[in-house]
Structure 1
Amino acid sequence: MAKKRNIGSIPGTIVYTGNVTGTQVSINYLEYNQNGYRAESALNNGEITIYPPIDEYIQWYDIRGLHDNDLMQKIVSSFKIHPLVIEDAVDIHQRPTYVEYLDGHFISLKSLEFNSEKSTVEKETVSIYFGNKFIITFQENEDDIFKVIRERIINKKGRVVAKGADYLAYIIVDYIVDNYFSVLDAVEEQVEELEESISLQSDDVDKLSIYKLKKNILKIRKSIAPLREAVNLFSRSDSKLIDSKTLTFIKDVYDHTIQIIDNADSLRDILSGLQDLYISEVSLQMNKVMQVLTIITAIFVPLSFLAGLYGMNFVNIPELRAQNGYYILIGIMVLIALSMIYFFKSRKWF
């Protein structure tokens, strides 16, 4: 895990706490209403174009990449945003939160994606700031996770084109939260496969897979648990920038967060049970091996006694001079072994 690098800094200091890559920051602009839209996309060249407000349009600035501190400072100056907004936006360790400012609202949350090749849940920090007729989104990576929403606006699907920036913020939060269900479904499938493997053949189960699943579930829960409170605050806002009808939809997102937490807790309990089952199966297999070895040892103890008895170097051992003494001793050993096997089976010891 990357360590925070802004400890002790002055409040409002913009310091990106993630891993700096060589990719350029991408700035995507979209203005839209019910009648049409205009979209622009460009790599950051040290400048950001701020268009004047248009009463009839919603303006959406989508920033992909958080490592350009100079650009972030220009956003603060251009939109007159509180410095703490950008400080939290570029801090990838910031827990999901909701903060209401005088001229806008800030939401920070985590976007999750399930990597099927590595069987891991990957996390990305996403932040939203919206005010009157404009919204700014900050994505940690260069991949566009809002492509579906963008296409919905361009194709005029749904009521988003007729609503304000607050509704677009809701749509983005709802989309990220809904994606948690897909991630949970993928993890649940792996848990079911693990349960089947343990039940059928525990020897083929890699204990590392149990650790990965526990880590994935923990990552999901750490992302959604604080978001529940953030969405709850969002749904209770009495700001003039949020339509009362939008609050009803946000409350539905709050219900989804509770459902996801319940599902994650259920998966965690199931996985804990599977871990106990795995340990029990391994112990059972070990007990079976020890049982077989104990039975073999028990059978050979009297046979070893007889072999040792007649292997002593005394001269006067009557049976040593018997013509068929060797065969008689072998027969007695076989009879003892068979009798002990019959006794063990009658007691159902193996």
Structure 2
Amino acid sequence: MRKIKYKKGRKVQPTFLEYTGSHKHVKTEMQLFVYDTNDLSEFASFNVSQLEHCLDSQKVNWLNIHGLNDIELIAAVGEFLGVDHFMLGDILNTTKRTKLEEYHDILFFNIKSLLPVENSDNIHVEQISFLLKDGILISFQEKRSDFFTHIRERIRTHSGIVRDKKADYLLYLLLDAIMENFYLTIENEEDRVEALMDLSKTSTKPQILEQIEKHRDNFNFLKRSIIPLRDSLYSIKSIKDDNVFNAIEQENYSFFSRLHQKCLELLEQIEYDLISLDSASNFYFSAQNNKMNEVMKTLTVVSVFFMPLTFIVGVYGMNFDNMPELHWKYGYFIILGFMFLLLLGMIYYFKKKKWY
């Protein structure tokens, strides 16, 4: 179970910036795309002081930052854009839940990117944040990854309509790419759950129940990650006519509505998968009960077979003097034969009644 770690330092110094993620060894790097329909400029190596000369207010500017360890660089970018200090804190604090807010003319959006860990039942979590202001979109990633590789190629090759749209459409594309990771994670979990379903019908190993509970935790964590994203996207969808989010153009609200619909589909699928896990648990406990019933049935049958034999042995074990059978020459063999025939008769009777 994943728990939120409380940072006492933030209570003492509310404006203190600190990266709380696990990728503390990743070097902070920046990549900038400046484009419109006819032109594209790409910058891979520059510093914050050069940022103002690289940007073009007449074009779309996408600044992608990999690694959040250079606090001074993050703070400098925030100061350049006029970002509130608490927004920067939310970018660096990876324990924050997904949220959307607009402060003055800056739209802030952060989201959890989830991917399955190879050869493991764990889920890799990375927080990705976005700032959108006046045709400038800044994305913050904890480490370099290939989530947005296909979007970069579409920008470079002028594929689709991305070069014809504004920065808010680019934000939609980036969010959509991250949500694809949810599908991959759920698909991976479903494959493992399907294998558990088959295994739970035939095996009663306690490790099966442990794996079922592990995947239940994974699905609940997925659910907890998607619900705030759904709520954030719904807020965009529901107030599109109130001009609340000025950074998003009216004609692009429909794209964010599609993302909201995807969230609903993902949550429905997760609910179905949780029900499947309940079925797997029921299969497991049913197999346990069936196994126990078979064991008890076998022990009961064996006990019943030996009950009359034990009675006979107990009777002739009393050694009274007036027991004439004790002095018979062939009494021992007669009693043994009788006991053997009695046992065969009981076996035949039980078999005929299909009691075992």
Common fold by TM > 0.5: yes
The residue that corresponds to 1:50 in the other structure is 51
> C-alpha distance in 1, partners of 2:39/2:282?
58
The residue that corresponds to 2:26 in the other structure is 23
> C-alpha distance in 2, partners of 1:47/1:328?
106
Return the match for 2:278 from 267, 272, 277: 272
User: How far apart are residue 252 of structure 1 and its match?
Assistant: 0.9
Does the 8 A contact of 1:210 with 1:275 survive in 2?
yes
The residue that corresponds to 1:300 in the other structure is 306
Letter of the 1:66 counterpart: L
Q: Deviations over 1:47-83 (max 9, x none)?
A: 6641333134321111122233222211221111111
> C-alpha distance in 1, partners of 2:268/2:120?
25
Q: Which moved more, 1:157-166 or 1:13-22?
A: 13-22
Q: Which moved more, 1:85-94 or 1:21-30?
A: 21-30
3-state secondary structure, aligned to 2:11: coil
User: How far apart are residue 33 of structure 1 and its match?
Assistant: 2.2
User: Alignment length, in residue pairs?
Assistant: 348
3-state secondary structure, aligned to 2:22: coil
Q: Which moved more, 1:164-173 or 1:198-207?
A: 198-207
The residue that corresponds to 1:88 in the other structure is 90
The residue that corresponds to 1:217 in the other structure is 219
Q: How does 1:77-226 map to 2 (within 5 A)?
A: 77-203=79-205, 206-226=208-228
Q: Closer, same or farther in 2 for the Cα pair 1:323/1:88, shift >3 Å?
A: same
3-state secondary structure, aligned to 1:284: helix
Does the 8 A contact of 1:30 with 1:40 survive in 2?
yes
> C-alpha distance in 2, partners of 1:2/1:47?
33
User: How far apart are residue 7 of structure 1 and its match?
Assistant: 4.2
Root-mean-square deviation (CA), in Å? Answer: 2.3
Letter of the 1:265 counterpart: E
> C-alpha distance in 2, partners of 1:87/1:204?
44
Q: Deviations over 1:306-347 (max 9, x none)?
A: 223323444443223323323222222222223333333344
Q: Closer, same or farther in 2 for the Cα pair 1:83/1:204, shift >3 Å?
A: closer
> C-alpha distance in 1, partners of 2:220/2:50?
40
User: How far apart are residue 205 of structure 1 and its match?
Assistant: 6.0
The residue that corresponds to 1:71 in the other structure is 73
The residue that corresponds to 1:321 in the other structure is 327
> C-alpha distance in 1, partners of 2:194/2:306?
45
Q: Which moved more, 1:23-32 or 1:261-270?
A: 23-32
Return the match for 2:260 from 254, 257, 266: 254
> C-alpha distance in 1, partners of 2:288/2:156?
57
Return the match for 1:37 from 20, 37, 40: 40
Q: Deviations over 1:230-276 (max 9, x none)?
A: 11123334234212121011111111101111111111122122212
> C-alpha distance in 1, partners of 2:228/2:321?
88
User: How far apart are residue 11 of structure 1 and its match?
Assistant: 4.4
Q: Closer, same or farther in 2 for the Cα pair 1:289/1:232, shift >3 Å?
A: same
3-state secondary structure, aligned to 2:43: strand
* TM-score, normalised via structure 1 length: 0.91
